[in-house]
C-alpha cells in the first residue's frame, strides 16, 4: 500500500538570472513500511525535499500525497494538524526543549495536540530506546546519542504515517551512529514504521531497503537493495 506519492515536485528560489531549481520535477512513491534513504552531495536538494515532505516548506509546484491526503491543498489549520499527527521529524541537532526532561520532551507533541498520552506505549518506547534510567534527566545531562534517542521517541510517540530523519547521525560518533540506525531499523520492523532518512553516508544508507540518489534537484538513481541480501 502506497503511503506517500510525490508527483512532479518543484521548488525554485529566486527568479530570472538568479533562479535556482532546488527540486526539479521529482516524482516517486513510497510503500507503507519502507525504509528509504535519500542520498546526494551538498546542494543536491535532499534536505529541501525532506522539508517539503514534512510540510515545513511548500513546493513551487507539484503534489505531495500522504495517506491519500493532498498535503498542500489543506488550509493552514489542517496543515498544522498534519505536521503534528502524520509526520515525525528527527533532526541532526536533536531540537530538544532544554527545560523539559526525557519523558516531557517525548510526550510534548501529544500534549500540544490536546491528546492523552498512551502510557503503555510510552513505557514500551522508553524501554526500547534504553532510556528507562534517564526519564527524569534534562537534555544537558544526556550524551549526544541519548539525546537523539529522545528525539526518535518524540517522533514515534504520535504513531505517525512517516518518520522523516534529517542526517540523524550527523552529529554522532560511529558507535552512537550505529545504535541510532539500529533503533530506526527496530521501529521499522517492530511497528512497520515508514522511514525516509537523509544521509551523506552511503554505509548508513545501505541499512535501508531502498536508496534514492539526488543530483542537482533530480533523481538520478532509485534502487531497492533488500533483494541483494537475499541473494548473498
Q: Domain residues of the chain, as ranges?
A: 33-59+75-230
Query: Which long-range contacts does 120-126 make (Cβ < 8 Å, 24+ apart)?
Result: 121/157, 121/159, 122/157, 125/153, 125/156, 125/157, 126/102, 126/153
Average pLDDT of the residues of the chain: 90
pLDDT at 228 exceeding the cut of 60: no
* DSSP state at residue 113: T
Task: Indicate whether 231 pLDDT > 80.
Answer: no
Q: Give the pLDDT mean for 28-56.
A: 93
Grid coordinates 554522532 are at which residue?
Answer: 172
Task: Give the span between the Cα atoms of 164 and 87, in whole angstroms.
Answer: 7
pLDDT tens digit string along 156-185? Answer: 998 888 999 998 888 777 888 888 888 889
Separation between Cα atoms, residue 157 and residue 56, nearest integer Å? 19
CATH of domain 33-59+75-230: 3.40.50.300
Rounded to whole angstroms, what are the CA distances from 141 to 95, 108, 186?
Answer: 15, 19, 25
The average pLDDT across 120-134 equals 92
pTM: 0.88
Amino acid at each position: 500500500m502506497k503511503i506517500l506519492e510525490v508527483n512532479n515536485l518543484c521548488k525554485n528560489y529566486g527568479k530570472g538570472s538568479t533562479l535556482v531549481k532546488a527540486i526539479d520535477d521529482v516524482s516517486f512513491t513510497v510503500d507503507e513500511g519502507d525504509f528509504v534513504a535519500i542520498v546526494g552531495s551538498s546542494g543536491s536538494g535532499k534536505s529541501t525535499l525532506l522539508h517539503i515532505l514534512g510540510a515545513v516548506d511548500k513546493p513551487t509546484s507539484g503534489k505531495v500525497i500522504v495517506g491519500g491526503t493532498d498535503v498542500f491543498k489543506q488550509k493552514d489549520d489542517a496543515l498544522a494538524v498534519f505536521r503534528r499527527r502524520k509526520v515525525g521529524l528527527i533532526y541532526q541537532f536533536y531540537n530538544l526543549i532544554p527545560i523539559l526532561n526525557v519523558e516531557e520532551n517525548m510526550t510534548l507533541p501529544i500534549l500540544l495536540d490536546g491528546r492523552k498520552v498512551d502510557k503503555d506505549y510510552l513505557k514500551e518506547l522508553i524501554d526500547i530506546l534504553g532510556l528507562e534510567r534517564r526519564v527524569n534527566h534534562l537534555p544537558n545531562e544526556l550524551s549526544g546519542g541519548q539525546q537523539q534517542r529522545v528525539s526518535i521517541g518524540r517522533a514515534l510517540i504520535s504513531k505517525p504515517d512517516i518518520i522523516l530523519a534529517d542526517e540523524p547521525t550527523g552529529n554522532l560518533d560511529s558507535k552512537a551512529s550505529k545504535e541510532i540506525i539500529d533503533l530506526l531499523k527496530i521501529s521499522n520492523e517492530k511497528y512497520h514504521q515508514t522511514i525516509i532518512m537523509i544521509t551523506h553516508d552511503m554505509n548508513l544508507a545501505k541499512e535501508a531497503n531502498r536508496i534514492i540518489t539526488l543530483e542537482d534537484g533530480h533523481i538520478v538513481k532509485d534502487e531497492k537493495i533488500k533483494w541483494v541480501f537475499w541473494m548473498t
